[in-house]
Amino acid sequence: MRKDVVVLGAGIIGVSIAVHLQKRGRSVLLVDRRRPGEETSFGNAGLIQREGVYPYGFPHDFGALLRYALNNTIDAHYHWAAIPKLAPFLWQYWMHSRPAQHKAIARMYAPLIERSVTEHMALAEESGSTHLIRPTGWLKVFRDEKTRDAQLRDAEGVKRDFGVNFTALDTRGVAASEPHLKVETKGGIHWTDPSSVSDPHALTMGYVGLFERLGGELAAGDARTLEETATGWCVQTENGPVDAGEVVVALGPWADLVTKRLGYNLPLAVKRGYHMHYRPVGNAVLNKPTLDFDRGYFLAPMANGIRLTTGAEFADRDAPKTPVQLARAEPIAKEFFPLGERVDPEPWMGARPCTPDMMPVIGKAPRHKNLWFGFGHAHHGLTLGPVTGRLLAEMITGETPVVDPKPYRVERF
């Protein structure tokens, strides 16, 4: 079989790249070891974070560092055995998260974030998936007045610098917005520009359906079989070898399985995360995704129930599950909102692909012809899927890119 492009990885990033290439007249094969959207893209918080111009940084205040060092929080957890291997990445991550550097990164990151909702809606309309995207925004609530005031100051800065809208809520405002919360908060921030997704996996599959209607094809295969040939690239699939003029590596946390073999030693790491669905008690309703900021967990209304998601776990990508953050969060979340019985038979775990400067790798590989990278989106894979797909497809087909791709090039490492 011969294709113009093979896209390796069928998460939201790879699917979006494949859709945009197929829309531009390229014949595309989307290859993954599993069915589309069943890895990291399956288990996120369901947010298209238009407000997320500041990617999630490493904390620099002493109190937070001490708290995390105790390794007993909900929002962060680490495996001691993984720290020696992770230490170089964590040091670079800490350095890039310093206030001045973080602000500079936000300026480079914002052009992608600014187009996150509009690019999703374009694909959702074409794929018939708009019912899965809700213009609810999301809610950040506080239990501490000092924390609330500091977060409001930060929100004002984001609004001033990047034009993102929010509404400040007092105690009564939070209660009116989410009347079934069981605790009295000290107020909150309602980010109004983002959208929420009721079923991230269904949305990915909606985009897959569009890809197939456009003539794209899917195949199971092992990305580690990728080899350069005289005419391009070849990968082994369930249907035999497939040759292509160009290949895109969109393997998320598994990108290194290909990049290292090709000589690219990139500073990639993973942040693992967990979720569990719960049935609400009685007639309780959660109207919009809500972050219990001072406790460090997130609740989101989903098609399968209320999804409780945890923060970051620093561990080897392939280490066994250790859902201790979920165990810590569950009793606190049940005191916050009337969560009933668990829906899922066991906690779900995924791995977010991260770079130390918190920006994705998007663009051409510097030492190979017709090899392209699209990975490293960390917490914003769902958010940035369609805009990454459009940007990379425009670069591959020679169109004028929707945003300047220079900040995301692999050569920065």
- Residue 251 main-chain phi, psi, to 5 deg: -95, 10
Please tell me the predicted confidence (pLDDT) of residue 69.
79
Give the separation between CA 185 and CA 139, rounded to whole angstroms: 12
Confirm if 89 and 413 have CB atoms less than 8 A apart.
Answer: no
Confirm if 306 and 297 have CB atoms less than 8 A apart.
Answer: no
Q: In terms of Cα–Cα distance, which of 400, 376, 379, 380 is closest to 390? A: 400
Here the contacts of 225-231 (C-beta below 8 Å, separation 24 or greater) are 226/8, 226/258, 226/261, 228/368
Please tell me the predicted confidence (pLDDT) of residue 61.
81
In order along its 413 residues, the chain shows pLDDT tens digits of 899 999 999 999 999 999 999 999 999 999 999 999 999 999 899 999 999 999 999 988 877 777 887 888 999 999 999 999 999 999 999 999 999 999 999 999 999 999 999 999 999 999 999 999 999 999 999 999 999 999 999 999 999 999 999 999 999 999 999 999 999 999 999 999 999 999 999 999 999 999 999 999 999 999 999 999 999 999 999 999 999 999 999 999 999 999 999 999 999 999 999 999 999 999 999 999 999 999 999 999 999 999 999 999 999 999 999 999 999 999 999 999 999 999 999 999 999 999 999 999 999 999 999 999 999 999 999 999 999 999 999 999 999 999 999 999 999 99
Q: Which domains are assigned to the chain?
A: 1-57+97-132+196-268+355-413 (3.50.50.60)
Beta bridge partners of 277: 307
Please tell me the predicted confidence (pLDDT) of residue 244.
98
Listed in sequence order, the residues at least 6 apart from 212 whose beta carbon sits closer than 8 Å to its beta carbon are 218
DSSP string across 324-348: HHHHHHHHHHHHHS-EEEE-SSS-E
DSSP string across 28-64: EEEEESSSTT-SGGGSS--EE-TT--S--PPP-SHHH
Amino acid at 204: T
pTM of the complete model: 0.96
Please tell me the predicted confidence (pLDDT) of residue 63.
75
Please tell me the predicted confidence (pLDDT) of residue 60.
82
Cα 231-362-366 angle, rounded to 5 deg:
50
Please tell me the predicted confidence (pLDDT) of residue 167.
98
Give the separation between CA 262 and CA 120, rounded to whole angstroms: 32
Beta bridge partners of 271: 352
Residue 371, Ramachandran bin (φ over 0: left; ψ between -120 and 50: alpha; else beta) = beta
